[in-house]
Amino acid sequence: MAMEVAVVPRRELFIDGEWKEPVRGRRIPVINPATESVIGDVPAGTEDDVELAVSAARRAFSRNRGKDWPRASGNYRAQFLRRIAAKIIEKKDELAKLEAMDCGKPLDEAAWDMDDVAACFEYYADLGEALDGKRKVPISLPLETFKCHARKEPMGVVGLITPWNYPLLMATWKVAPALAAGCTAVLKPSELASVTCLELAEICKEVGLPAGVLNIVTGLGPEAGAPLVSHPQIDKVAFTGSTETGRQVMGYASQTIKPVSLELGGKSPIIVFEDVDIEKAVEWALFGCFWTNGQICSATSRLLLHESIADDFLDKMVSWAANIKVSDPLEEGCRLGPVVSVGQYEKIKKFILTAKNEGASVIYGGVRPQHLDKGYFILPTILTNVETSMQIWREEVFGPVLCVKTFKTEEEAIDLANDTRFGLAGAVLSNDPERCNRLTEEINAGIIWVNCSQPCFCQAPWGGNKRSGFGRELGEWGLDNYLSVKQVTEYTSSDPWGWYGRPSKL
């Protein structure tokens, strides 16, 4: 495999506020998915490094038992989050370029992600400050001889495991609320895209984040992720990734009975009714599946079309798909880059081949673009004649592949939408507000879009039902993920309790 000029800064593991070489000295190559060339490497942490990172986070959480990180004011912690946000904006162009070369997303998308990263840190800085006034919640009791309140306290040392499709943004969704809540953390990014998470470590050093508050251990899942989840000194785990890996995370966490929040896979529907503006609906249907190169857990990759508009809709969709610029992510105007790795590339091709063998029709894409002879590129792919029993309809592809079925009635559309083991997201496109309202209630998913697909805001909850996981990130719900609730009840009477009576000898 060719070696390009190293463009990835050489970093080590970030433990206790310092760069530390992995104990076993191993590293993982960073491969640019657009060129298939090695552009650097990242450290490969193992159980030994996880032990050091967790110990550092534990010291940072319990140090002095005074005005340290978990017991400091929300204002104190918010200052660091805001400094991080400012540094993200300052380094936005550099970070976006690294992100694009690391995971293959178009540069414009990566730049947008950096804006979202900064906004998320700012948002949780605000919530962290506001938490000061909400830590003690008074509770009304039926007996005047008692006073009671509930305290919100940081969960402790948390383990955060994040995916490769939004490397820095998904890390931020966990890091920002965890730190705002007063937790200390160990972050394990995906081995397929860790570069910008290590740059976050450099930013933490630059802004003076106290040692041990955030530790970052890159490495393979079995060698670094599993020891982190099962570590007895980790108090809570937050994971985003595949459903199968989420099942393993639950198993590891169960060994020490620790809480887990999971944001897993999806196979989300987008329902298009006959009363839509077809041009607008076509673009949302494409965006809902092909954004982030189709590598997004909430992708609305099952298109349900009312049969009366299907022919016209699909004709227009093919024309629009053919106009999508597929190129190196750094090229101006790129709207679809390569998928993240050769393994993902081969997996997607196998999905498409199986679908064709089962009788589905590829009406656009399904192959490598003719003008690109290197890189893990697949044209945006649209399949029709798809049956609900087919693998392509039921399983998450995590690539630029859209399946299409038609329906006759609203009831049929709802049944098709909910006939899945997943429940992350769904979309309904219609000019009938009452119909849209009905479907937001009928679709079994944690996120519903009306006349759009994929917009996400850090103020709104994010998470799914069924095998798409449980728990919610973002918004106030994201902060609650990292807070535990303690009851404090005080006996206020000057009289003895008197249950047992006074012993006669006293």
Residue type at 53 in one-letter notation: A
Residue type at 458 in one-letter notation: C
Task: Report which secondary-structure segment, H or E, holds 425.
Answer: strand 425-429
Residue type at 130 in one-letter notation: A
Active site residue 297: yes
280-285: long-range pairs with CB below 8 Å, 24+: 280/451, 281/313, 281/429, 282/313, 282/316, 282/317, 282/320, 283/320, 284/427, 284/429, 284/451, 284/452, 284/453, 285/317, 285/402, 285/429, 285/453
As a whole number of Å, the CA-based R_g of the chain is 25
Q: Which of 504, 487, 454 is CA-nearest to residue 300?
A: 454
CA angle, 455 as apex, 243 and 169 as ends, to 5°?
A: 60
| Residues facing residue 88 across a β-bridge | none
Helices 433-442 and 410-418 cross at an angle (nearest 10°) of 30
> Of 12, 199, 263, 410, which is the active-site residue?
263
Decide if 464 contacts 264 (C-beta within 8 A): yes
Distance of CA 441 to the CA centre of its chain: 24
The span from the CA of 32 to the CA of 341, in Å, is 9
Decide if 176 contacts 120 (C-beta within 8 A): yes
- Written as six digits, the tokens of 497 are 């309790």
Q: Which of 209, 211, 213 is CA-nearest to residue 81?
A: 209
The 10 Å Cβ neighbour count of residue 254 is 12
The span from the CA of 472 to the CA of 415, in Å, is 25
C-alpha pair distances (Å), 439 with each of 69, 280, 412, 467, 474: 45, 20, 12, 21, 24
C-alpha pair distances (Å), 366 with each of 270, 356, 420: 21, 10, 24
> Of 120, 183, 289, 297, which is the active-site residue?
297
Which residues are the active-site residues?
263, 297
